Structure 1
């Protein structure tokens, strides 16, 4: 189901303040975009990185639950790990995460080669990413445009992971990603797949959803799983 426009969800004063803060941040980002055509991609990706950073403040559940300090090997200030998958048009924008925090939790950035960079001597792309275990330990996984041809195998391999997947790739929601960034009228916008978020056990606050250009409520990853279980058919 594709949903556009406003969301009639109750919003507390605290969430309204958070929404206003995010809106102000994004508004500043919108103003910065008209000059993009005359500058390097660093500026565009600094803005997109700012969106990703702000998303972290509006997502709950999954890996975003603060660890209980009483648990062994657990720390309430454990870092939030942001994985970057593929070849980023600008690396510096993501490196700047290292100086930021969400609450008391610092951010760490991990870089992963895209599937296209892992082509074997036989010319074949691996069906499973060799760093999948490390990728699964990320809180957020950002898909670079270089991964456009590999969305289906990559997202399917993460179907049981509570990771916030964020893409900069056309068709990202339709492949099962949670949030996708795109340019519209020289502005950075975002769209959300609610069903994919639910599969990842994530809750996205309504104050963020109201700012989305589009929301959809269909998870193709679960559809593919159901078809595989039924022998490749959509019918039992």
Structure 2
């Protein structure tokens, strides 16, 4: 019988050969993304930084519980991932979610060019530049049931929920758990265990 490390090591080898197929068809690939450190400098060209971020965002649908929907209709509406001014990331996410559903809801990706286009969505990735301009709006956006994500170094401090960052040339996450709970998001202990927790004190 394999131990957990053997499973992850085996899955990692398969993942490198076909990251998209393995992520969607083999459950252990989900664990690989969250538990194995990815050295961005050492990955093959197919496993780019955008692909890794897309994989994290895709798996938020499995490791995060959203606040209760205010109306019955929103429980059957598409699950929307909006990406503001980062088309290369949107392309990678679109590859992952094509044909996918979340509890019977089709998962769709919307590319946004302007902050005024932010309407009803479930996950919102914000470019570094736009995050700076939106720093006073993030808390209000979270409380609309939108999981906010960005690479901006100050994102968690401004009230954003998930920040991507590099540490020792590896992709990591920082989570503002205080703001997440205030907005009624529930995050899996598996997700929290491999993330840096933002401390506002």
Q: TM-score, normalised by structure 1?
A: 0.62
Report which of the two structures shows the higher radius of gyration computed on alpha carbons: 1
Q: Which residue does 1:81 correspond to in 2?
A: 80
Q: Is structure 2 residue 104 aligned with structure 1 residue 104?
A: yes
One of 167, 183, 186 as aligned partner of 2:166: 183
Q: Is structure 2 residue 156 aligned with structure 1 residue 173?
A: yes
CA contact (8 A) 1:78 1:105 kept: yes
CA contact (8 A) 1:80 1:105 kept: yes
Map 1:1-236 onto structure 2 (within 5 A).
22-27=30-35, 30=38, 33-35=40-42, 43-62=48-67, 71=72, 74=73, 77-96=76-95, 97-114=97-114, 129-132=115-118, 134=119, 137-158=120-141, 160-212=143-195, 214-218=196-200
Q: Structure 1: give runs of 5+ residues left out of the alignment.
A: 1-18, 115-128, 220-236
Q: TM-score, normalised by structure 2?
A: 0.71
Distance 1:88 1:170 in 2: 20
Q: Structure 2: give runs of 5+ residues left out of the alignment.
A: 1-26
Aligned residues: 174
Shift of the 200–188 alpha-carbon distance from structure 1 to 2, 3 Å rule, reads same
CA contact (8 A) 2:90 2:111 kept: no
Shift of the 195–83 alpha-carbon distance from structure 1 to 2, 3 Å rule, reads same
